[in-house]
Amino acid sequence: MMATEMANTAQVPAQRVGQSSSKALLVLIAGWLVPGAGHFLLGKWIRGLLLFASLVLMFSIGLALKGEISSPSTGQLLDILNFAGDLGNGLMYLVARVFSLGASSVLTVSADYGTKFIVVAGLLNVIAAVDAHSLATGRKAS
């Protein structure tokens, strides 16, 4: 009887941990796919909106400056690093690849700025998604 009660009380926190970790994972993936979506899921509307506006604007400026959307197929180390950064943009990267937005190669100084804007937007989006994950797990207070 007592052992059964102990088992039940031990299962309840385990279930909560399981639920919270799956929600945290959902928040992390949503935040990666759409900038600020992780914060939206947690009810942090203003933070989510600011992150969304900042990162989408940064990515859009990069495209407007004719920045390069990298692909991993070139085999050059810098292109692979750029590709890793670009992947952080989530769905924005996918849309840019599908609709062939951005330049295939950097031809002007402005285009070089644009490429950096796109890569940094991806890296910042990863930071934002991890921040949302930290909020979901309670590692970050508020």
Partner 1 sequence: MTISHFNAVLLFALLTSVVFGITQRAEPKMMVRFGAFCFVLFVLGTIAASWLMWLIKH
Residues contributing to the site for partner 1 (CB under 8 A): 47, 50-51, 54-55, 57-58, 61, 64-66, 109-110, 113, 116-117, 120, 124, 127-128, 130-131, 140-142
Closer residue to partner 1, CB minimum distance, 80 or 113: 113
CB within 8 A of 101, min separation 6: which ones? Answer: 63, 69, 95
Q: Which is nearer to partner 1, 80 or 103 (CB)?
A: 103
Smallest gap from Cβ 20 to partner 1, in A, equals 19
- In whole angstroms, the minimum distance from the beta carbon of 99 to partner 1 comes to 18
Sign of CA dihedral 59, 81, 21, 133: negative
For partner 1, the closer CB: 16 or 140: 140
User: Is 72:79 a contact under the CB 8 Å cutoff?
Assistant: yes
Beta bridge partners of 121: none
CB 13, min distance to partner 1, A: 25
